[in-house]
Amino acid sequence: MDQLALRVSLVEDHPVLSGLLQEFIATLPRVRSCTVARSAENALLEIEGNVPDLMFIDLSLPGMNGIELIRELHTRYPDLLCAILSGHRSKSYARRAMAAGAKGYVLKGEPLEIESAMRVMLAGDCYVTPSMTEDG
């Protein structure tokens, strides 16, 4: 994989947030392109034959949710690096995502961590936003 030509896909149903995140991700130094799908089902159709290097997936999607999508992607494309983007701070969500095959869990309120998550995941490790909270 060319270190300066990462293809990133974002799965986010909120139009304003997806636009902002796409714009931000596209400016990161190693990113060549960033596409957006508005649902899990659309994401599965759009990546056939053109699998990205990384995917950032909203946890709460209409229809199939982010964890279900990651489980499906992990089955179809076991080498695809996927991370959840979520507003849920509970580590139980991160554990569920990792069990489904995610390699990262990034809080939506921490966009600067997207680059950190990418770097860690590309190095072969898992990334979870440090400010996550333990479950009560």
* Encoded amino acid at 128, one letter: V
**Cβ proximity of 56 and 114 under 8 Å:** yes
pLDDT tens, 15-69? 999 999 999 999 998 999 999 999 999 999 999 989 999 999 999 999 999 999 9
Crossing angle of helices 66-76 and 91-100, rounded to 10°: 20
Share of the chain above pLDDT 70, in %: 94
- What is the CATH code for 6-128? 3.40.50.2300
* pTM (2 d.p.): 0.93
Q: What sign does the CA torsion over 56, 59, 125, 110 have?
A: positive
- Return the domain boundaries, the chain: 6-128
